[in-house]
A and B are shown apart, each in its own frame.
Chain A
Amino acid sequence: MQTYTYCILAAISPAIRNTSFVYYIRHIAPIINMELQKFISDFAACFNSTPVESFAADTQFKKNEEWGSMMALIVIAMVDSDYNKTIGAEDIKQANTVQDLFETIKKK
């Protein structure tokens, strides 16, 4: 019933249509995706000898040879300075992929 009502309203009102799913896909999702892409490149920049291109949202960063307690501090410092958020040891422990960490930071 809600969908039916919405379709009728969307058809007659451009304003309502602009808040629609299509609008979300066209305008909102790319911004979120851009944020994630920016985080991936910020995260990748923390690493010394791993090329930036080898990082993606689903990269399991703890499997990276460079990863260790030093890298964790470097990432914590980056998140603090670039995102003004604090992540702890437990946040890092819980995250497997770069996107997991991004989602954790977003929730803070």
Chain B
Amino acid sequence: MALYTIRNVALCGIAASVPKNTEDNLYMELLSPQEREMFVKTVGIRYRRVAPPGLTASDLCLSSAEKLIEELGWEKEEIVLLVFVSQTPDYLIPNTSSVLQHKLGLSKTCLAFDVNLGCSGYTYGLSIVAAQLAAMQHGKALLLVGDIATATISKEDKSVTPLFADAGSATAMEYVPGAPTLHFNLQTDGSGYQDIIIPDGGMRNPFSESSLTPVVYEKSVVRNALNMRLDGVNIFNFALREVAPNIKALYEKYALDIPGTDYFIFHQANKLMLESVRKKIGAAAEKVPYSLYDLGNTSAATIPVTIVNNLRKELSTGNKKLLFSGFGVGLSWGSVYVETLPLCIPSLIEV
């Protein structure tokens, strides 16, 4: 089982950026007025920040990183590691992390690479960066997590369009002997790889003329093979089945305390789903913040976005015990328990 701890790595700060451009699900033409109200009430998403053409996930991560470095007062040459977690890179080749290393003006001694993960990406990213820093035994690192999922979605597909929004984030981590231990439980079930997929454009089904053919699956569900497809019921059942046991296993293994945890920060997928998970693990309602009403499902970035949007004051002023849980595309899921000292959290950046 991928249950483990990493010591001597501290979480220092978190920043998040969203596009200014806002869409309102209560005015979405794809849905009937009754469906709109029901969607907002049940799924919990009203407003979505949508990147205009030309604005990428790396741009949103870049502005987050610049602001965070400035507010932390870090010297750029101290940054030894940059990890970019995204499923919407700037290019298929090269890796976007190199573009970011260059644009941020980081040293050539900085190690940089991309990680292709979505909803679970923040939990995996924390693990990757912490493990790397622990191995290096020195230095500062940036975990840049962001997506512009809206760029992959058919605007005529009501099964996905009202869900997704765009955001980018930066998380600062540092090797600090004696820092609170990070606890992880990361999992995978590739049997569900088709539950969230862009079928064409990779090497399995290379781009062809037919990739662009719109297919009508039902009324207001029209997309081509380059658009993201999501099997809502399968993903919903996956989350109901896997997320709570994953968190409970982490708490049992390391004798952690559910009532003693200050906040449970879930991947912002669907309010109905998250409330079910919350009840299964026995977390109090006031300990589970939601950013999805205002900012939607921003894929890999939802956890840092929720921290910045909902918990900025609380986490920047006191020590906290936090649980992060991300789950989705892959299927891939994981939870991280961490005790934080006061964090540097700039207010939400609009680009």
A residues within 8 Å of B by Cβ?
Answer: 48, 65-66, 68-74, 76-77, 80-81, 86, 88-89, 92
Contacts and interface: CB of A to CB of B under 8 A. Distances in A.
B276 A70 contact: no
B276 A81 contact: yes
A86 B241 contact: yes
A71 B232 CA distance: 12
Minimum-distance CB pairs A-B, first 4: A89-B233, A80-B240, A70-B38, A70-B42
Given A66-B38, A88-B237, 14 more contacts: A48-B38, A65-B34, A66-B34, A70-B38, A71-B38, A74-B42, A76-B236, A77-B272, A80-B237, A81-B276, A81-B279, A86-B237, A86-B241, A92-B233
Given A81-B279, A86-B241, A76 B35 contact: no
A86 B276 CA distance: 13
Nearest to A81: B276
B115 interface: no
A54 B232 CA distance: 28
A74 B272 contact: yes
B300 to A, nearest CB: 23
22 contacts: A66-B34, A66-B38, A68-B38, A69-B232, A70-B38, A70-B43, A72-B233, A73-B42, A73-B233, A73-B272, A73-B273, A74-B42, A74-B272, A76-B233, A77-B236, A77-B240, A77-B272, A77-B273, A88-B233, A88-B234, A89-B234, A92-B233
Interface string B41-69: 01100000000000000000000000000
Interface of B: 34-35, 38-39, 42-43, 159, 231-234, 236-237, 240-241, 270, 272-273, 276, 279
Given A69-B232, A86-B240, A77 B276 contact: yes
A48 B236 CA distance: 21
Contacts of A77: 236, 240, 272-273, 276
B266 to A, nearest CB: 15
B97 to A, nearest CB: 36
A47 B329 CA distance: 30
Nearest to A71: B38
A66 B41 CA distance: 14
A23 B273 CA distance: 43
Contacts of B34: 65-66
Most-contacted residue by chain B among A65, A71, A73, A81 (CB, 10 A): A73
Contacts of B159: 69
A77 B43 CA distance: 12
Contacts of A69: 159, 232
Contacts of A68: 35, 38
Contacts of A80: 237, 240, 276
Nearest to B279: A81
A66 B38 CA distance: 9
Contacts of B234: 88-89
